[in-house]
Structure formats: structure tokens, C-alpha cells
Amino acid sequence: MSLVNMLTKNCLVGDAKAVPIVLSFSVTCPNLRPSEMSGKSTSLPKQVINAPRHSRLKGLSVQVQPRMVDLFSGCGGFALGARAAGFGAELAFDVDPILTSSFSTNFPDSTFIPGDLSTATGSDILNLAGGHVLGVFGGPPCQAFSDIGQRKVDDPRRDLLDHFFRLVAEISPAFFVMENVKGLGYADAKPVLDAAMARVAGKYDLLGPVLLDAADFGAATKRRRLFVIGVDPRRCDPITLADLEGAKMPAATVADAIGDLSSAVECEPDLGFDVWQLPPSAEGNSYRDQLLAPDAKFTGHRQTAHTAAVIERFRNVAQGGVDIIGRHPRLAWDGQCPTLRAGTGSDRGSFQSVRPIHPTEPRVITVREAARLQGFPDDFRFHPTVWHSFRMIGNSVSPIMSKAIFSLLAARTDHGRLQIAAE
């Protein structure tokens, strides 16, 4: 069965008036309550998605129709970078109801569709996008290729990599960007990647696979990921390794990212989220200033309540050291955070990832501290549950790295050239 049976066409997204988009699709959609994730396949015969009237994200261009397609969107770190580079609203897809639970809140002018992309066709997506797509981006599930996982060759999630490239070939965008773990480049997985890339090799100029570290592009976290970038030479100028080298900049430090958060004051909760506000301050830095909300409020800063024994143990770990029992690394104010990992959902054991210890306080970092380190703005919401929020952040592309890549692409497409000329 096709992912999407379009019942109304030519729907406008981001227009002055909300327009209902009526869809039917087959979707792997667990129970939407955070505490229950059955993983059962459910058929949703019809769903009405109202395209919102406006976007709350300031200073970002919004197009009449979603011309960017976000496959395996997760919470939207990749999309944030695309928007910061000047691209407009997305048509986003993902099957995980928890990782995407706040997508429509953070991107109200986008259209999000929960669905299994292995059943989708390019024509489905093109119809939803209004017949034309400028760019496709996404990070197919990486667990089957992760060097800390079991890397089973029969893991069905491995097939989703091929579906990403299949959809790119069918949609035929001007460019695409694929992100995954570095383990996808290992000898036992590289043939899978090569076969998937062969689907687009004849039409696209390909850069990659190449390993890029978010810290090299100004983030406060070390996060090495594998990228493949493809451009249609008829519609987009190529990107080279030299271009990526030229986009690099010094990494932010842990102090730059989270040094001010200890002064935050808790406010009234909102929709299940704990809310905090920073006092007025003349001190700041360029990293923090780009993430700060206009009202200085943010969510997700409630601290973990550790036992007295754990608190004492954490006190004895030096900055840059590692807790010998829980293997928690302790952050150093003048360094970068190690890669934040996602843990697993309830369908795979509900394992929590090891969280770093705060540089000077004897506790693990909060959700908001993790978000700052990864490069998310303060007005970005995750999930009321700490575990799910860390899964969302750990599965995401750093918006700062994403912005660097999409900024290069924006300057090489007609979209970007026209925008620059208008300015």
C-alpha cells in the first residue's frame, strides 16, 4: 500500500489561512502515550492536518509550499539548520511518535506525516509538496550501523538507507544531504552504502561519504558523523571538500554553551514542561546569544535527583575525567561535550544513554544543557519526560553543523542566489 493517498491536491502550507490536508496512509504508529509504545502497525484511514497560520520562528524565510523534504525527521535538528540557512518550510516524515512528538510545535508552518517510508513513493511525496522539491535531507536510522550496537546484517532498519536513496532518485531534487553514523563507512557496511548511492550516481555529483565533526563547525560538542551530499549539476553548483574546510570555525566551549544556566529561575509549568527564565545579564557570548529566546525562557532544566552515594562519587571526578562505576564523563568548562547518545526506545529495552556530569555540580546534565551543547535554541521544546528528551537530542543532527552544510548549498542554488540578490 502506498504511504500516501492524496485526497486533496495543491494544498498551500504557510499561507495566511490554514488549509486542511486530507491524507490516508499505512503507518507504523505505536500508541501515542509516552508511557506505551507497542510498535504495532496501524492503518490510519484518514487524517486531517491543518497547516498553521504562521511560524513562531523569527527571521526565517517561509515559502508558500514546502519545497524541502525531511525524511526520518526525528525532532528536527536537521531542519533547524536548513531554516537557519534560509530554506523554508518542510514536508517531514518519520515513524517514531515520541521522537517527533514536538515537531509540529517547533515547526508549526511545516507539514508532518507519521508514516513508514519503506512504503512511500516519490510521486506520493511530490504530490504532497505541490509537484516540486528543491532539496531532500535526512538521517536514516543508524542503529544497525552504529559501532556501539550489534550491527546485525539482518536488522531490517538497514534497508531504510536504500529507501532514502530510492526516494531521492524518484523525487529528483536539486540536491540532497544524507547523515548517518561513522560505522556506515566500515568495511562490513560500506557495500550497503555503495549499493544505495548507486541509485543516484548517474544523475548527481556526489561528495562523500565524508566524516564531519560538529565541533569543527562551531558546536560545543564533538560529534563525528558520516555525510553524503549530492547535487544535480543542472540546478546546483557542486560542493567540494575545500568548501567544507572553508566553512569550519573554532568550537564553542562548554562554558560558552551552558555557563549561564545555573542562574535560571523556575517559573510556572506549561503543558507538562518545567519552565525556567534567565535574569537580565550584560554578559554573553556569540554561541549563547544565537540560542537565547527573546523572553529568556526555556524548558527542560529540572535536575536529576541522585542518591547521596552517587553525589559523593561525582564530586570526586575531575573535569575531563570519567566516573569509574557509571562511566559518566565529566565535562570541562574549557572543552567540548563528548557525543551525546540516544539510548533506546521501549521496543528495544528502554536503555538510557550515559549522560555527562556537569563541570562543577555533582549531577548529570539537564535536558536544556544537552540541547545547548548540541546547538538547539532555547525556545525549542522536546518532551516532558527526560528520557525521551535525551533520546530526541541524541538522535539529532547538530543544528549548527546542519546550518553550515545548508548555507553552502543555499549559495549554490537559484533559491540562494535569488535570496542574496533580494537582500
Task: Give catalytic residues, as residue numbers.
Answer: 142
Full 3-state SS string of 163-216: HHHHHHHHHCCCEEEEEEEHHHHCCCCHHHHHHHHCCCCCCCEEEEEEEEEHHH
Give CA separation, 347 vs 30, 179, 340, 344, 386, in Å.
10, 24, 21, 8, 18
Distance (Å, whole) CA 8 – CA 19: 10
Residue 341 · residue 394 · CB < 8 Å: yes
Grid cell locating 39: 510498535
Alpha-carbon distance of 171 to 125, in angstroms, equals 7
Q: What is the rounded distance in angstroms from the CA atom of residue 301 to the CA atom of residue 303?
A: 6
- Alpha-carbon span 152 to 7, nearest angstrom: 39
Strands 135-138 and 68-71: parallel
Strands in 41-50's sheet, in edge-to-edge order, are 5-6, 20-28, 41-50
Can you name the residues that pair with 357 across neighbouring β-strands? 330, 364
Strands 224-231 and 175-181: antiparallel
How many residues does the structure list for the chain?
423
Report d(CA 337, CA 314) in Å as an integer: 17
Backbone angles phi, psi at 22, to 5 degrees: -100, 125
Residue 341 in contact with residue 223, Cβ under 8 Å? no
Chain Cα centroid distance, residue 214: 13
Q: How many CB atoms lie within 10 A of CB 247?
A: 18
